[in-house]
Amino acid sequence: MTLLTVMVVDDSEADHFICNHTLKKHNSDINIIAAYDGQEALDILAAADAHPQVIFLDINMPRMNGHEFLEKYSEIYGEEKCSVVVMLTSSDQENDKEQSMAYKAVVDYFTKPLSVKAIDTLCDQNKHIYN
Amino acid sequence: MSEMSDKQKLQKLEKEFEEFLYIISHDFAAPLRHINGFVSIIQQDKQDQLDAQTTSYLDNILKSSEHLNAMLQGLLKLSRINTRPGERTTTTLSGIIEAAWHHDLRHFIPEDAQLNVAEMPAYFCDESQLQQTFGALLLNCIEYRNPTDDLKINVTHNLDDDMHVICIEDNGIGIHPKMTERVLKPFARAVSAADFPGLGMGLAFAKKVIEHHNGTIEINVSENASTCVIIRLPKVSDDEKLVSTALST
């Protein structure tokens, strides 16, 4: 499976650039929506007609961090068939991992940088990611 | 409010220092990752436009930033010894050493290696930290082995007053007596990086873990140039166990 539309939530412009570069290696026509904190991501999702297939989510961000985003996102979209979330963070702390993976929407936890191999594995292991 | 005692002041300073170490190692990692990322992008996307000299420069940037990243990860590991200790349990010291060798180092053990570990009593400790410590010390024996001899490592145990004395002795390349204190500091190397690649964090990590257990570590060089790492760990009384358990719950 190939990813067609994704959202990247990260406060670092450099991380966006590097992540986008990798995503385009996976699919050169991929549509990437950028958000720079959790609140901006929620605002974009609320206004969007269709949600991205995958949300790549950082943890340490200003205004609304990744954990806070997950809490709100689950409240709003908990039972809906919506995007899956993949954590993409520099944190290798067990408590960050446990806290994130406890949410139903979160299917994987990657430490930066994102690799093409990780995206391919993600697609192979999550056939239910809707198109 | 009463003034802080010297011990409290010291504890506050240590905590601040560990937080500082964590900030350096964690927050410095992001821009470093970006340097790596952008160099990799140039290497992948502009490969056909790069001459040999530019390719070599980029390789060197990548090598240096990867080395710095490994150093930062080493500092992060060091800072976590006190800030994120594991649960203390009672387990045999020799069992911890055997686990470090047979499990943690299983991919590094040379075919000619002989490890002898004396029987040792049970000990109340942070098993994970001590296993990593013995793993680091035994890995040093492997990395600094004498290429012309079979590798022999002898781990002995004695009781000296109220201390467990563990000695890890090998027949490796040895260490200059002048360097025995210096190599216990982070990033200190007794040999050139070109001859023996490495970070110089193994002994620094071991020292911090042993001190976290109120013990000491020193390096002795014998007349035949064999190196002996001597670890002294205090015997822990049942009272201390109770206090420690209460504090950790």
Per residue in A7-46, pLDDT (tens digit) is 999 999 999 999 999 999 999 999 999 999 999 999 999 9
User: Over chain B, what is the mean pLDDT?
Assistant: 86
Q: How many CB atoms lie within 10 A of CB B26?
A: 18
The CA dihedral of B43, B44, B49, B50, to the nearest 10 degrees, is 20
Q: Given pLDDT bands bounded at 50, 70 and 90, which one contains residue B246?
A: low
Chain A positions in Cβ-Cβ contact with residue B37 (cut-off 8 Å): 14, 17-18, 21, 113
Query: Residue A12 is nearest to which of B26, B30, B36, comparing CB atoms?
Result: B30
Within 7-66 of A, beta carbons closer than 8 Å to B belong to: 12, 14-15, 17-18, 21
ipTM over 0.85: no
| DSSP category for residue B198 | -
| Ranges A2-6, B223-227, B245-249, most confident | A2-6
- Establish if A78 touches chain B: CB-CB under 8 angstroms: no
What is the C-alpha to C-alpha distance for residues A104 and A2, in angstroms, rounded to an integer? 22
- Establish if B176 touches chain A: CB-CB under 8 angstroms: no
- Establish if B33 touches chain A: CB-CB under 8 angstroms: yes
Most B-contacting residue of A16, A28, A90 (CB-CB within 10 A), to test interface: A90
Q: Which string of b and e fits B188-219 if b means at least 16 CB within 10 Å? A: eebbeeeeeeebbbbbbbbbbbbebbebebeb
Query: Residue A112 is nearest to which of B31, B33, B41, comparing CB atoms?
Result: B33
Q: Please give the average per-residue pLDDT across B103-127, as a whole number.
A: 93
Q: Given pLDDT bands bounded at 50, 70 and 90, which one contains residue B20?
A: confident
The pLDDT, as a whole number, for residue B249 is 47
- Establish if A113 touches chain B: CB-CB under 8 angstroms: yes
What is the C-alpha to C-alpha distance for residues B190 and B174, in angstroms, rounded to an integer? 10
Determine the 3-state secondary structure of A49 from DSSP. coil
Reduced DSSP (H G I as helix, E B as strand, rest coil) percent helix, strand, coil of chain B, to 5: 55, 15, 30
Beta strand spans in B171-211 (E): none
Q: Which two tokens stand for residue A1?
A: 């499976």
What is the C-alpha to C-alpha distance for residues B77 and B152, in angstroms, rounded to an integer? 29
- Cis peptide preceding B85, ω within 30 of 0: no
What is the C-alpha to C-alpha distance for residues B92 and B113, in angstroms, rounded to an integer? 23
For A70, the enclosing helix (H) or strand (E) is helix A66-77
